[in-house]
């Protein structure tokens, strides 16, 4: 979609106008004229977000769209609602009227982000699409008070972040015969923007002693990979922020085989890695003034004659031994070695890992919040502030020695599961054993990174790209300001 910012004039024949909830003296507060307001009353458009009607306006048509209360107006959500309503409507272009609302450049730029997210659909592998299903909307003009300022803000900040979110979505939505460890690594290697890429193959990881990560992939014919992305945009010598992502490109559960129903969704079990890749791509494209390193462990978890067995004991890179009681609790094994390696090598100022780690987090928080686990109150506050800035919601859950005891094993230093109770917490407690004294946080995004049901107009597809905006905000607020 081609997006531009302009003053009041636009060649578009269709103009979307926000309608706000009840104001003094009239049923609605709107940017249309009195005649239009009367028509809105007749159509029962009361400003409720998403409700809409079309009004004739000379040679043009006005799409009057509910936008909630004026004092709480969210230009991004409004724009997303407009695009979602029109993207297959047959219209090729639309203008969204935001001038006269006294919005800053940042809010206007985010309207463009909302439009791009709502306009996204993963059609890469579809060869037959009905005419009524084809996306026709290709041109968006955002009418605003300062088009030059909004354009600058979008091009240098919000636009690159949207690029990162859409990249993450593409990666999650790709089928497992397209995104598998080596091919995924090549795709990362081929990204533009100036990232420094390093790839560790199985031979290198074997020498490093990454038996926890490697054990997950031994049942697959496809080699596991560890990919390192560097962005050196800060001061030379400054300790970097470190982002680590779980990249299980397909998760059958291994010998602890998952049920067949909906197993196809396990192509999305690399959503944490996709968030890291999308974040690093966005940081590079917007030329972030920070040193950031992204590390993703890429594996395929398959049942096979060579596959890891329940009861196997592996020695992690840290030297700690792990009894693998369930081969479907594999993401934490990948992260255990990836975290230990990256922290030891890069000595970060702080580290955040992301993973579609547990079904338990969906039971706890549903699909509206990611689970945040950290022993650092300081890092928790930073991420919670970034959550408010980005709109990507997180909720802090406890870490406690009581839960740690649930991982005790009589046969090894620990087991990789803690039982049915507090599953997301014991998974975080497991990871904590591999980060040492690092300032560390874990984000369980199983409920937010991939969805088959959604109500947010910006989430138009299975892969949401969750985490990219959150991490960009965290880096901007703590390493660039």
Query: Any catalytic annotation for residue 124?
Result: no
Query: Any catalytic annotation for residue 332?
Result: yes
- 218: Cβ–Cβ under 8 A, 6 or more apart, which residues? 304, 306, 307, 308
Query: Residue 28 has what pLDDT?
Result: 47
Domain spans in the chain, listed from the N-terminal domain onward:
2-145, 159-480
Query: Residue 409 has what pLDDT?
Result: 98
For 157-160, the CB contacts below 8 A with 24+ separation are 157/106, 157/109, 157/286, 158/106, 158/109, 158/110, 158/112, 158/113, 159/109, 159/112, 159/113, 159/286, 160/282, 160/285, 160/286
The domain 2-145 is placed in CATH, from the list 3.20.20.70, 3.40.50.10330, 3.40.220.10, 3.90.1150.10, at 3.40.220.10
* Start-end of H helices in 412-462: 423-432
State mean pLDDT over 252-262.
97
Model confidence at 35, pLDDT cuts 50, 70, 90, reads low
Name the active-site residue from 70, 121, 187, 258.
258
State mean pLDDT over 7-29.
72
pLDDT in tens, 230-249: 999 999 999 999 999 999 99
Q: Is the pLDDT of residue 27 over 60?
A: no
State mean pLDDT over 418-423.
96
Q: Is the pLDDT of residue 34 over 90?
A: no
% of residues, the chain, pLDDT over 90: 87
Model confidence at 42, pLDDT cuts 50, 70, 90, reads low
pTM: 0.96
Q: Is the pLDDT of residue 130 over 90?
A: yes
398 vs 252, 357, 380, 404, 474, CA distance in Å? 29, 16, 11, 11, 21
Using N-to-C axis directions, what is the helix angle for 271-285 and 159-173, rounded to 10°?
A: 150
Name the active-site residue from 169, 332, 433, 439.
332
β-bridge mates for residue 244, sequence order = 295, 353
- Indicate the range of 1-15, 332-346, 431-445 predicted with least confidence: 1-15
Please state, in angstroms and rounded to a whole number, the distance separating the CA atoms of residues 350 and 479.
11
pLDDT in tens, 64-105: 898 988 889 999 999 999 999 999 999 999 999 999 899 999
pLDDT in tens, 357-412: 999 999 999 999 999 999 999 999 999 999 999 999 999 999 999 999 999 999 99
State mean pLDDT over 178-206.
97
Assign domain 159-480 to its CATH superfamily: Zn peptidases (3.40.630.10)
State mean pLDDT over 37-49.
70
């Amino acid at each position: 979609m081609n997006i531009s910012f302009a003053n009041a004039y636009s060649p578009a024949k269709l103009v979307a106008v926000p309608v706000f909830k009840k104001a003094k003296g009239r049923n609605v507060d709107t940017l249309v004229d009195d005649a239009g307001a009367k028509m809105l009353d007749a159509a029962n458009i009361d400003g409720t977000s998403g409700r809409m009607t079309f009004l004739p306006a000379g040679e043009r048509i006005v799409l009057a769209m509910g936008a909630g209360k004026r004092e709480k107006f969210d230009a991004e959500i409004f724009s997303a609602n407009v695009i979602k309503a029109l993207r297959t409507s047959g219209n090729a272009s639309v203008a969204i009227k935001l001038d006269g609302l006294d919005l800053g450049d940042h809010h206007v730029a985010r309207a463009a982000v909302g439009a791009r997210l709502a306009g996204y659909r993963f059609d890469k592998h579809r060869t037959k699409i009905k005419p009524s299903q084809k996306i026709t909307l290709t041109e968006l003009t955002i009418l605003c008070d300062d088009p030059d300022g909004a354009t600058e803000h979008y091009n240098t900040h919000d636009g690159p972040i949207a690029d990162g979110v859409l990249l993450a979505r593409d990666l999650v939505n790709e089928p497992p015969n397209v995104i598998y460890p080596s091919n995924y690594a090549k795709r990362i290697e081929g990204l533009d923007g100036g990232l420094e890429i390093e790839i560790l193959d199985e031979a290198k990881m074997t020498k490093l002693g990454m038996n926890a990560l490697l054990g997950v992939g031994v049942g697959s014919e496809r080699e596991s990979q560890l990919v390192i992305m560097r962005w050196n945009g800060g001061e030379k010598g400054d300790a970097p922020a470190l982002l680590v992502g779980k990249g299980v490109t397909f998760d059958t559960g291994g010998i602890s085989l998952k049920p067949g129903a909906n197993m196809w969704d396990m192509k999305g079990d690399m959503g944490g890695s996709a968030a890291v890749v999308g974040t690093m791509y966005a940081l590079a494209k917007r030329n972030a003034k920070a040193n950031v390193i992204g590390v993703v462990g890429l594996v395929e978890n398959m049942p096979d004659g060579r596959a890891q067995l329940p009861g196997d004991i592996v020695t992690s890179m840290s030297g700690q031994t792990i009894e693998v009681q369930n081969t479907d609790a594999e993401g934490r094994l990948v992260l255990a070695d990836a975290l230990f390696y990256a922290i030891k090598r890069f000595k970060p100022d702080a580290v955040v890992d992301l993973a579609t780690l547990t079904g338990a987090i969906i039971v706890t928080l549903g699909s509206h919040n990611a689970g945040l686990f950290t022993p650092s109150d300081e890092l928790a506050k930073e991420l919670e502030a970034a959550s408010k800035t980005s709109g990507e919601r997180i909720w802090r859950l406890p870490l406690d020695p009581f839960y740690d005891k649930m991982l005790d094993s009589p046969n090894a230093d620990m087991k990789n599961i803690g039982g049915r109770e507090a599953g997301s917490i014991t998974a975080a407690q497991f990871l904590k054993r591999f980060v040492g004294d690092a300032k560390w946080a874990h984000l369980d995004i199983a409920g937010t990174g991939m969805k088959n049901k959604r109500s947010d107009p910006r989430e138009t597809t299975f892969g949401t790209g969750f985490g990219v905006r959150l991490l960009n905000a965290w880096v901007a607020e703590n390493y660039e300001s």
